[in-house]
Structure 1
Amino acid sequence: MTDRRTGGGLDRAFLARFAREAGRPGSVVTWLNHWSLLHADPPALSQMQLIGFDGTLLQAVLTRHGHRFGRSSADLVLPIILDEVLAPGDPVALIGAAPGVAADTAARRLGGRPTMAFDGYGELSALQADPSSLTGFNPRLVIVGLGAGLQERVALQVHEWLPDAAVTTAGGWIDQLGRAEQYFPDWVHRLRMGWAWRILHEPHRLLGRYTVEALQFVAASSVLVKQLEGIGPFNELGIDRR
């Protein structure tokens, strides 16, 4: 794999630690921002072993409620898992994205390691009906990049099928990987402008997420924080139920 820098101003040691924990066999990990918390499936979310937090708005609200943790996200942690936690020959499965994206461009960017991919449409339905192709492949890591709520439910299904695999959600990371090895430039991470970068590149899909739905999140934030507090203890990684 080529250069996978984490971006200036980020705590590289913390991200490496998060990657080691998320890449452990049997782990089930997800990340939240304000939008994914608004659209979460609470029962599925409550079964995640480790929950990291990304997104300036959600982090600010949680900090105001007295919670302290490091910043992480799928696009920052997954490259470290792939490059430094997994062995070069460890197989990886991708679940999500539009037809052809995971199997074609994204899989080719994983450095030639054994890869199996299922899109988030008909192939996902077929996989849920019969997971034998995935279980036979026996991946060391399964990356599930679907919508909020759905990706946690699918991650839990995968964990049942493959209890010794590491399973992480990824949001839109598979689509992003299909576009570029490093979707966000370093300066975007350094200045915490990922929301602006995404609006610029995906305005029709994301403008409402960072305007109308951001206001909806603020209005519901007290209830949502209590929901998170009920899931499990906070530590420097996020919510850690292991």
Structure 2
Amino acid sequence: MIRLELLDRYSPALLDSNRAFSFLNFASIGSFIRQPPPSLAYFCDGMLMSGFMSRITGRAVQRVSFDFTSIADPVLRESEQRGKRVYVVGARQAELDRFVEKLGMQYPHLQLVGAHNGFFDVEQGTALQADIRRQRTNLLLVGLGAGLQERFILEALRGGFSGVAFTCGGFIRQEANASERYYPDAINRLHLRAFYRMYREPHTIKRYLLDYPSNALRLTELILRQQVAINVTAP
């Protein structure tokens, strides 16, 4: 039996928890089904997933994504105001450098205590985890792609990390390569984010056109066979 822990919305109170959170859409659900991580709570990343889960569970489950159309600004703004110590992991070094510079301009008082690119071996990863703890990190953001990023934040918790961790997928890379915000306001208002991403990042076309429907059918099958148990909770 696969057990899926879903949060129905985001709350600022989660920033004071010692937990790890990730985000599910109909692409990343594939890696979840193959190897469901233990002790991890999820948000519904995207309108399709939130609509699907709302219908399946009978609960209103909101779309929550780690980007500037959703919770990225509330999380970073609250962390800045409360003096949270932030550590970022992901993207290539040049992209990470641009992202850090951008954060500094948008959140000038944010305590960014560490930043590491997303390319490291096992030994370097161990040293990185130690540095995250040594810096007394309160908020850990990790964008390593589905599967890898979930394992990284769970390893952080098991290693003694005492803050809150969020995966963030391609957020670091996307914002590093955007002149202002990755999604223009008009695209966000019209809910055309998926189409815009296919335009900006053609490699995602397969994900939306093939992976989404096949994973949706697979998930539906598992639910109907009672091989997936979904628990929706409030923050």
TM-score, with structure 1 as normaliser: 0.78
- Which deviates more, 26-35 or 179-188? 179-188
Residue 6 of structure 1: aligned partner? none
Distance change (3 Å), C-alpha of 1:41 and 1:129: farther
Quote how far apart the aligned CAs of 1:90 are: 2.6
Quote how far apart the aligned CAs of 1:129 are: 5.1
Per-residue CA deviation, residues 101-148 of structure 1 (Å, 9 max, x unaligned), is: 22x111122224332111111277512356322221121110011111
Contact 2:26–2:215, Cα closer than 8 Å, also in 1? yes
Contact 1:44–1:149, Cα closer than 8 Å, also in 2? no
Residue 114 of structure 1: aligned partner? 111
Out of 16, 28, 47, the position equivalent to 2:20 is 28
Residue 66 of structure 2: aligned partner? 74
Distance change (3 Å), C-alpha of 1:22 and 1:97: farther
Residue 200 of structure 1: aligned partner? 199
Larger fraction in strand:
2
The count of residues paired between Structure 1 and Structure 2 equals 218
For the residues of structure 1 that align with 2:168 and 2:127, how far apart are their CA atoms? 22
Contact 2:18–2:162, Cα closer than 8 Å, also in 1? yes
Distance change (3 Å), C-alpha of 1:41 and 1:142: farther
Distance change (3 Å), C-alpha of 1:139 and 1:211: same
Query: Where in structure 2 are there 5+ consecutive unaligned residues?
Result: 1-7
For the residues of structure 1 that align with 2:175 and 2:160, how far apart are their CA atoms? 24
For the residues of structure 1 that align with 2:118 and 2:141, how far apart are their CA atoms? 12
Counterpart code for 1:108 = E
Where do residues 86-97 of structure 1 align in structure 2 (5 Å cutoff)?
86-87=80-81, 89-97=83-91
Quote how far apart the aligned CAs of 1:31 are: 0.9
For the residues of structure 2 that align with 1:132 and 1:148, how far apart are their CA atoms? 23
Q: Secondary structure at the match of 1:233?
A: strand
Q: Secondary structure at the match of 2:140?
A: strand
Contact 2:198–2:204, Cα closer than 8 Å, also in 1? yes
For the residues of structure 2 that align with 1:223 and 1:214, how far apart are their CA atoms? 14
Q: Secondary structure at the match of 1:153?
A: helix
For the residues of structure 2 that align with 1:120 and 1:186, how far apart are their CA atoms? 29
Out of 219, 222, 225, the position equivalent to 1:221 is 219
Contact 1:38–1:217, Cα closer than 8 Å, also in 2? yes
Q: Secondary structure at the match of 1:81?
A: helix
Contact 1:19–1:85, Cα closer than 8 Å, also in 2? no
Contact 2:20–2:164, Cα closer than 8 Å, also in 1? yes
For the residues of structure 1 that align with 2:210 and 2:66, how far apart are their CA atoms? 24
Contact 1:118–1:124, Cα closer than 8 Å, also in 2? no
Counterpart code for 1:28 = A
Query: Percent of pairs identical after alignment?
Result: 25
1:39 lines up with 2:31 in the alignment: yes
Dislocated runs of 4+, deviation >4 Å: 41-44, 224-229
